[in-house]
Amino acid sequence: MARLLKPFEYFEPRTVEEAVQLLSKYGHQAKVLAGGTDLLISMKKRKITPQYVVYIKSIPELDYIHYSQQAGLKIGALATHTAIADSAIIKDKFELLASACGKVGTPQVRNMGTIGGNICEGGPSQDSVPSLLVLEAKLKLISLHGERIVPIDEFFIAPFKTALQEAELLTEIQIPTPPPRSAGCYKWFTKITTVDESLAGVAVLMLLDSTDGICRDLKIGLCSVAPTPIRARRAEQVLRDKKIDNSLIERAARVAVEETSPRSRADYRKRMTGVLVREAISETWQKIRQLHLRERA
Ligand SMILES: Cc1cc2nc3c(=O)[nH]c(=O)nc-3n(C[C@H](O)[C@H](O)[C@H](O)COP(=O)(O)OP(=O)(O)OC[C@H]3O[C@@H](n4cnc5c(N)ncnc54)[C@H](O)[C@@H]3O)c2cc1C
């Protein structure tokens, strides 16, 4: 049954400054609205009933994708999943993020939903987050008191609870350029429903030494298998500074499973984590080997 939204006062600021002033004035009674693909559903279900809604999509300075080798990738909080999935530079240099954003929901949801909203929703199953974790993204948060930069692995505190403080706005996601001869991928497994929520999502970023085949660095990010998105740091250690082979990949997958703590469908999610970690590492390993072969040819 369709439910009406509880009445609220609506604001449509045109600048970040105006937005943070409104958020500061109304405090916990205000809520930021971006694409609305999460927030409006929560408001309809009356899980959240803000008295003031601050719609930020009319702030043009928050919608951009910029890249330079030195400064890395800078994504405005309002960039949509479609814009990120279709961006030539992101597909080329940050392919795991492009595929994660391309996986979100349906075309309508990707056209409306923003990366900022995906991160700030703070749920365990946000698809962009594992890739952002392994890419070591940093978040620029702005309030009336100034700006602060928070590494994304310090942002998620508990299910739907983040380090975002009252009256703070996420404005930018900053991602360093990955080292040359690294590669990554995002793998997921979904529950087939209207929202196709991920039952498990795995992002991997690997740096391989072409001279001796040693894995110089490996990062593994997981979503939907713990109360918050996490890095599987013990599994990463299994391969770091080792010559990769299939049995080591198997071991890393087993250790990653031990690091998960799913709240529902636990056995299934754990098993899927093992499968996806194994697949993601193997696929990334193949990608880098092909990259090396192409460079030598
Ligand atoms: C049918 C359907 C399918 C979906 N499928 C997926 C999926 O496969 N994978 C997935 O990860 N998600 C999925 N989602 C969830 C949703 O689309 C994404 O999380 C989306 O990125 C949210 O962005 P938004 O701009 O719509 O956020 P909103 O709904 O506007 O906001 C979400 C939350 O973030 C806060 N917020 C938003 N922007 C900012 C900001 N800049 N600063 C501070 N706070 C902010 C809001 O106050 C709110 O609490 C789906 C949703 C639907 C309806």
Q: Which atom of ligand 1 is nearest to the CA of 171?
A: 41
Q: Which protein residue's CA is at the shortest distance from atom 27 of ligand 1?
A: 117
Using pLDDT thresholds of 50, 70 and 90, give the confidence band for residue 181.
confident
Place of tokens 């999610």: 269
> What's the 37 CA to ligand 1 centre distance in angstroms?
5
Query: For the range 146-154, what are the long-range contacts, defined as Cβ-Cβ under 8 Å and sequence gap of 24 or more?
Result: 147/171, 149/174, 152/119, 153/231
pLDDT level of residue 134 (50, 70, 90 thresholds): very high
Give me ligand 1 centre to Cα 4, in Å.
Answer: 20
C-alpha 133/C-alpha 152 separation (Å) is 6
Ligand 1: residues within 6 Å at CB? 31-39, 41, 77, 104-106, 109, 112-114, 116-118, 120-121, 126-127, 164, 169-170, 194-196
The CA 233 to ligand 1 mean position distance, Å, reads 27
Residue listed under structure tokens 């698809």: 127
Give nearest CA residue, ligand 1 atom 1: 195
Q: How far is the CA of 121 from the centre of ligand 1 (A)?
A: 6
Q: How far is the CA of 231 from the centre of ligand 1 (A)?
A: 22
Nearest C-alpha to atom 41 of ligand 1 is from which residue? 170
Give me the percent of the chain exceeding a pLDDT of 90: 88
Closest listed residue to residue 292, CA positions, set 194, 209, 225, 234: 209
CA-closest residue to ligand 1 atom 46: 32
> Which tens digits make up the pLDDT trace of 187-234?
999 876 666 677 899 999 999 987 888 999 999 999 999 999 999 999
Tens-place pLDDT, residues 143-152: 999 999 999 9
List 221's β-bridge partners, or say none. Answer: 203, 231
The CA 254 to ligand 1 mean position distance, Å, reads: 32
The whole-model pTM stands at 0.96
In 3D space, the residue among 183, 177, 135 whose CA is nearest the CA of residue 285 turns out to be 183
Ligand 1 centroid distance, CA of 83 (Å): 15
**pLDDT (tens digit per residue) in 81-92:** 999 999 999 999
Q: Which atom of ligand 1 lies closest to the CA of 48?
A: 49
Atom of ligand 1 nearest to the CA of 110: 17
* pLDDT value for 2: 59
pLDDT digits (tens, 9 = 90+) for 70-128: 999 999 999 999 999 999 999 999 999 999 999 999 999 999 999 999 999 999 999 99
Domains of the chain as residue ranges with CATH: 9-55 (3.30.43.10), 60-175 (3.30.465.10), 182-296 (3.30.390.50)
Classify residue 192 by its DSSP letter: -
Residue 78 Cα: closest atom of ligand 1: 41
Q: Quote the mean pLDDT of the chain.
A: 95
Residues sharing a CB contact under 8 Å with residue 33, sequence separation 6 or more, in sequence order? 39, 40, 53, 54, 55, 56, 57
The CA 210 to ligand 1 mean position distance, Å, reads 40
Atom 32, ligand 1: residue with shortest CA distance: 117
Q: Which of 121, 133, 148 to mutate to test the pocket of ligand 1 (most atoms within 8 A of CB)?
A: 121
How far, in Å, from the CA of 284 to the mean position of ligand 1?
Answer: 28
